[in-house]
Chain A
């Protein structure tokens, strides 16, 4: 499932300097292929969010280039932030409608798609609820449904599950992989968690701070992602490798 597709995104020597002095990201190279699940893993302040924001086109790089071999940056890019980032005045279904609404689609014409996206995250019963009536994990799932509703080719996620407990997180990890399989999209996933990155990704990009940079790319060759994988010796070995690489990066900093 990994790395066989065509390149959708290439970062070539991308550097970001804030205020002329803070080097948030130094000469980052990354090629993302169609269908990849890539994790950006690293300590706080290593430029993970900066990398994601650059990819999303929310700011320009100071140096280097971001290329979209398939054309320009897709307009239907799905994004999930660390916080649920919902509109508190709108019901769950109206929140999920937003990306389609901004394209000029009326609610009636896309209602089925909205409810399909909600079913995907297991929230079809909560379409009429307001965000304040939901738990933290449920809000996060609404945010994911909103990112999925356009059936985007590429989804960017910035530590979406960081604030959740381990049990909910594992459940959402499973759901995320199922959704990815169903939609067939490419995912770039920022995380602090070694375990999460190993469980989810085809490739882990290990980063170090001050200045933020990529220190290693680790491939995760796994046929299935399930409980068996999570409890396998292979999984344990991989987490050890990744932890080692991360520790190395921290020492070098």
Chain B
């Protein structure tokens, strides 16, 4: 890390400080420029070839639609965000809970793991109609769908983490006569934390996929409808700018969730885990 207050002593150090500063600016500037460039190319293409807006609306038109429809789309954004976050929460509880259960009891693992795998390998699209047949409450339907796609990476990553504790540390715990519970709390869970967080990042994206797919299939209308329903609805009305606007908001949700899980990961690991440490040089 470079201290802002450090006074460079020679030209070498000055040059290094400059490179570091430029590197920090570039880290933001390059992706920002790439986004601006691609929006510009999009606008140019629509303008140059005179593309009709019901085929491909210009960026300005999409932005305008976003403002016009903000009342409706803002509510939908909130609904989708809420459902995704809830689904992720349930996936964490289910995934970590099952991982601990499987780790503590091999009998439970033998009984339930096959079902976990079956749920994972069966496409959600195939399962969804069945779920809607048996579950009445709309929110519960969507949550179950999102949970099914999101819990598995958490389960499998956490299971791996709980199993892969250092042998010598495990021996040390045995020598000090630690109870099973103490070993779980003080050794296995901290050891599994980076693995869990890796699974959480994947599950974050998947819970959004689950929430969107479920809404496509079940189609909640009215004030509790999310972004997926608004996209469908706009497509029936051939309101292409609104489809684009809603789609952009879906991407925003995805990015927000990714940023949140990354921030959590950094907060929990940056003091000790290799993946989050920036080496001093």
- Chain A residues at the B interface, C-beta cutoff of 8 Å: 53, 56-58, 75, 77, 79, 81, 83, 85, 87-90, 98-99, 101-103, 130-132
Contact = CB atoms under 8 A, between A and B. Distances in A.
B277 A85 contact: no
A97 B174 CA distance: 16
A83 B168 contact: yes
Given A79-B172, A81-B171, 8 more contacts: A57-B175, A88-B273, A89-B272, A98-B176, A99-B176, A102-B178, A130-B271, A131-B272
B175 A132 contact: no
B220 interface: no
B177 A89 contact: no
Contact of A77 (B166, B175, B193): B175
Given A57-B175, A98-B176, A102-B176, A89 B190 contact: yes
Lowest 3 A-B CB distances belong to which pairs? A85-B168, A81-B168, A102-B176
Contacts, number: 51
Contacts of A90: 190
Interface in B234-281: 271-274, 277
Contact of B166 (A79, A85, A102): A85
Describe A's contact surface by its main secondary structure: loop
Contacts of B169: 85, 87
B173 A102 contact: yes
A23 B273 CA distance: 40
A71 to B, nearest CB: 15
A79 B171 CA distance: 10
22 contacts: A56-B175, A58-B175, A75-B176, A79-B171, A79-B172, A81-B172, A85-B166, A87-B190, A89-B190, A89-B193, A89-B272, A89-B273, A98-B176, A98-B186, A99-B176, A102-B176, A102-B182, A103-B176, A130-B272, A131-B272, A132-B274, A132-B277
Contacts of B274: 132
B177 A102 contact: yes
A88 B194 CA distance: 12
B15 to A, nearest CB: 28
B125 to A, nearest CB: 41
B187 interface: yes
Nearest to A103: B176
A179 to B, nearest CB: 19
Interface in B28-57: none
Contacts of A57: 174-175
A90 B187 CA distance: 11
Chain B interface residue number, banded:
20 to 34
Given A87-B187, A99-B176, A102-B182, A58 B272 contact: no
A102 B272 contact: no
A101 B186 contact: yes
Contacts of B277: 132
Contacts of B171: 53, 56, 58, 79, 81
Contacts of A87: 169, 187, 190
B271 A85 contact: no
The CB with the most chain A CB atoms within 10 A, among B168, B171, B175, is that of: B175
For B172, B186, B193, B272, which residue has the most chain A Cβ atoms within 10 angstroms?
B172
A126 to B, nearest CB: 15
B263 to A, nearest CB: 18
Contact of A75 (B166, B177, B190, B271): B177
B168 A102 contact: no
Specify which of A79, A87, A90 lies most central, judged by the most chain B CB atoms within 10 Å of its CB: A87
Contacts of B172: 79, 81, 85, 98
Contacts of A83: 168
A61 B216 CA distance: 63
A188 to B, nearest CB: 14
Contacts of A89: 190, 193, 271-273
Contacts of B272: 88-89, 130-132
B172 to A, nearest CB: 6
A103 B135 CA distance: 49
Interface string B157-189: 000000000101101111111100010001100
Nearest to A76: B176
B174 A58 contact: yes
Nearest to B280: A133
Contacts of A79: 171-172, 175
A87 B177 CA distance: 17
Nearest to B168: A85
Contacts of B187: 87
A53 B172 CA distance: 11
A89 B186 CA distance: 10
The winner among A88, A101, A103 for most chain B CB atoms within 10 A is: A88
B50 to A, nearest CB: 60
A146 to B, nearest CB: 8
A104 to B, nearest CB: 9
Nearest to B193: A89
